[in-house]
Structure 1
Amino acid sequence: MSRLNLGTGDALTTMVASAAANQAGAALGARAFPAIGPAGVVAVRQFVAAAVLLPIARPDLRRMTWAQWWPALLLGVVFATMNISLYTAVDRIGLGLAVTLEFLGPLAVALCGSRTPIDLVCAAVAGIGVYVLVLPGSSTDLVGLGLGLLAAACWASYILLNRLVGARLPGLQGPAVGTSVAAVLYLPVAIVLLAQGRFTWVGLAYALGAGVLCSVVPYAADVVALRRVPPRFFGLLQSVHPVWAALAGAVILGQIPAAHVWAGMAVVVGTNAAAVAVAGKRAVLAARNPRPVPAT
């Protein structure tokens, strides 16, 4: 096996393990909701991530150019928005459903810019899957669903920004700067919770666990993996997130998804896998049969 294939295999293994850690951490974070709420968990997550990544990456902030600063700053805003929208959605509609809706972000990346009928079919099937997943009715939590979709938009932005940051900043400097920006944004939340005396030892322990498993591990793993695989294939491996989320929700939180949730989840995950597989085959064919360059 070639060195390239070995590197890609390592990246795929890293991403699957990262997804498992992420969803286990999300379930632990949900345990802290009664004490400090979703915003408190997100704040602790960002503090933990910044405290771990900054000493490791040691970004030289004074020498960073604007071309390096702006995607890192935007990544921090995406971190902050993605986490609070997802955690609030988890609090309202459960971990499995919230993460599956968030998963539409990588699916959008996989289908972005498509101009072929098969991609349009995949998009339509994904829409059907989402309907089955949600089964909207009079008791549907529309706010929770909307927050899950906001998290999806943020995840799509995260994939593209993280790849750009990884290309412009060495090592883990990009995620370190991004998490530090998000930590600053959540500092007022932590101050208010501290003043209210809501940081109990149990709640803080759950939130710290979420910080390590949901922030430090995935951010570090993703920036490394995205240097070896394109965004479309990164989106394919994100298919495991809804599955891990449903399992973590069942084991850690006792949230057993209904049959229609499992069915909708399977359709969305399968659609993403099909879309990325087709895109990959198309890319291989294009590489083998490049279009001739017109003579000038």
Structure 2
Amino acid sequence: MPARPDASDVALPILALVAGMVSIQSGAALAKELFPVVGAAGVTALRVGFSALILLAVWRPWRRGPERGDLGAIVLYGAALGLMNLLFYLALRTIPLGIAVAIEFTGPLAVALAGARRGIDFAWIGLAVLGLGLLLPLGDAPVLDPTGAALALGAGLCWAAYIVFGQRAGRAGGGRAVSLGMLVAAVVVAPVGIAQTGMELFTPATLATGLVIAVLSSALPYSLEMFALTRLPRPAFGVLMSLEPAVAALTALALLGERLTPVQGSAIGCIVAASAGITLAGRKPDKSKSEEDAAA
């Protein structure tokens, strides 16, 4: 009989995953405070640029380059990553962090629901649509900047593309593909940030803040997520990651003083529940298939 896992074996990866989410959203909050200095595009260039340097130093992909057939997927993956970051930060100029994350979360939700066939899958789709409808500036919904909401939706679309192309790019090796993809992302967004900000982007104080944002938003949370992913069952990992919009809202309240209306809070709750539900539903084995395997 296998030994029961110690409580710390479960608690530590859960704490690591939650800490990673708090780190990402703290980085986003710090980035938002830097907008008046270098703008959203400038902050994006700093975050992605420093993240690329950190990942390249860690993985050193030049030691074993990708196959020619993988280059296209890596370029598309990196372009989606860069545009996702840029559109998300542009959205943060006019809408609260928690709402931006919730709207952006529709991207991975769409990927997860792409193969929906069962009735319960469509129930989760309905719940996600309800949450999105409560957030978007439609009809008598609470006032939300339409441009910011559209940019967050665009970031969600890029997140979906990032997942699809990332799966293909992963054939080149996870860490190496991520580092090369981040390099492509930097090439995509850096010209936009430099054009908007000019030499102000390279002052010591701005560079130092950009480095902190990159560590909080990329290096630290990715490391914590990897620690958790290797120690938690995939369904548990997915459900916990579904909490990210709620974590973003709480972090924004604590660091930026952004308060949501009850309707907006309920909308985020709908999206969190839909994401957790589709994660669990997608991991549930098919009963007939299990019975066939057992009979075999």
| TM-score, structure 2 normalization | 0.83
Task: Output the aligned Cα RMSD.
Answer: 3.3
The DSSP-based 3-state class of the residue aligned with 2:93 is helix
Is structure 2 residue 82 aligned with structure 1 residue 67?
A: no
Distance 1:158 1:226 in 2: 19
Query: Relative to structure 2, which stretch is displaced further, 147-156 or 25-34?
Result: 147-156
Distance 2:75 2:16 in 1: 25
CA distance in 2, matches of 1:63, 1:121: 44
> For residue 18 of structure 1, what is the aligned residue in structure 2?
20
Residue 242 of structure 1 deviates from its aligned partner by 0.6
Mapped contact 2:99–2:264 kept (Cα < 8 A): yes
Name 2:40's counterpart in structure 1: 38
Partner residue, 1:149: 153
CA offsets per residue over residues 145-196 of structure 1, 9 Å max, x none?
A: 1111111112222233334433x23351111101111112233235435645
Is the Cα–Cα contact under 8 Å of residues 109 and 235 in structure 1 kept in the other structure?
no
What letter matches 1:214 in structure 2?
A: S
CA distance 1:280–1:7, shift in 2 (3 Å): farther
Question: SS of 1:79's equivalent?
Answer: helix
Match of 2:258 among 242, 255, 262: 255
Q: What are the ranges of 5 or more consecutive residues in structure 2 without an aligned counterpart? A: none
Q: How far off its partner does 1:290 sit?
A: 4.1
Aligned to 1:255, the other structure's residue is in SS state coil
Moved more, 8-17 or 99-108: 8-17
Q: CA deviation at 1:115?
A: 0.8
Give the C-alpha shift of residue 200 in structure 1: 5.1
Within 5 A, what are the aligned runs for 1:95-106?
Answer: 95-106=97-108
1:55-134 alignment runs, 5 A limit:
55-60=57-62, 63-134=65-136
Asked whether the equivalents of residues 102 and 148 of structure 1 are also in contact (C-alpha less than 8 Å), the reply is yes
Per the TM alignment, residue 143 of structure 1 is displaced from its structure 2 partner at its CA by: 1.3
Deviation of 1:278 after TM superposition, in Å, equals 1.9
Distance of 2:69 and 2:20 partners within structure 1:
28
1:177-216 correspondence to structure 2 within 5 Å: 177-192=180-195, 195-197=198-200, 199=202, 201-216=204-219
Residue 242 (1) aligns with residue 242 (2): no
| Offset from partner CA, 1:8-40 (integer Å, 9 cap, x none) | 998766544332211111111101000001100
Moved more, 18-27 or 231-240: 231-240
> Would the alpha carbon gap of residues 54 and 121 (structure 1) be closer, same or farther in structure 2, given more than 3 Å must change?
same
- Structure 2 CA distance for partners of 1:59 and 1:121, relative to 1, 3 Å: same
Match for residue 54 of structure 1 among 53, 56, 75: 56
Q: Does the Cα contact within 8 Å between 1:50 and 1:183 map onto a contact in 2?
A: yes
Aligned residues: 291
CA-CA distance at 1:222 after TM superposition? 5.7
Contact in 1 for aligned 2:39/2:197 (Cα 8 Å): no
The unaligned stretches of length 5 or more in structure 1 are none
Is the alpha carbon distance of 1:67 and 1:48 closer, same or farther for their aligned partners in structure 2, counting shifts above 3 Å?
Answer: same
Task: Classify the secondary structure of the residue corresponding to 1:64.
Answer: coil
**In 1, Cα distance between the equivalents of 2:102 and 2:17?**
17
The question of whether the paired residues in 1 share the 8 Å contact of 2:39 and 2:196 is answered with: no
Distance in 2 between the 1:235 and 1:146 partners? 26
